[in-house]
């Protein structure tokens, strides 16, 4: 009885899984379009933020500024740089 109920529910479970993956893909594509490269940041070990920026904001927004000051440009684990990472981030 229980086995028959489970076998009858497999089609419905697969349908919900396909629809969920479709939504993840749609929102992942939107996320890649809007946020690609936005979740990267600069890591500086030898200097403080205020010493780097002339305007006193204390933040580096561009990769080449970070590299010029001797920092490393890193990307967070959760990002929207490609569709696979975007879908994993949304999950």
Q: Over the stretch 36-49, which tens digit does the pLDDT of each residue have?
A: 988 888 887 765 55
* CA proximity to 52, closest of 30, 44, 85, 38: 44
Place of tokens 């396909």: 18
- Measured distance CA(6)–CA(14) in Å, rounded: 12
Above pLDDT 70, what percent of the chain? 85
- The structural domain count of the chain equals 2
Whether 45 and 32 map to the same domain: the answer is: no
Cα dihedral sign for 35, 89, 61, 58? positive
Structure tokens at 30: 């939107």
Supply the range of the domain harboring residue 25. Answer: 1-36+80-91
Whether 9 and 31 map to the same domain: the answer is: yes
Whether 49 and 67 map to the same domain: the answer is: yes
Whether 1 and 30 map to the same domain: the answer is: yes
Whether 44 and 32 map to the same domain: the answer is: no
Grade residue 54 by pLDDT with cuts at 50, 70 and 90: low
Place of tokens 């959760």: 78
């Amino acid at each position: 009885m229980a086995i028959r109920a489970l076998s009858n529910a497999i089609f419905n479970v697969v349908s919900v899984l396909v629809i969920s993956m479709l939504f993840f893909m749609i929102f992942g594509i939107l996320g890649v379009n809007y946020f690609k490269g936005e979740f990267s940041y600069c890591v500086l070990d030898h200097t403080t933020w205020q010493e780097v920026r002339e305007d006193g904001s204390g933040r580096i927004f561009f990769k080449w500024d970070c590299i010029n000051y001797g920092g490393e440009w890193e990307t967070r684990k959760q990002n929207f740089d490609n569709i696979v990472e975007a879908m994993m981030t949304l999950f």
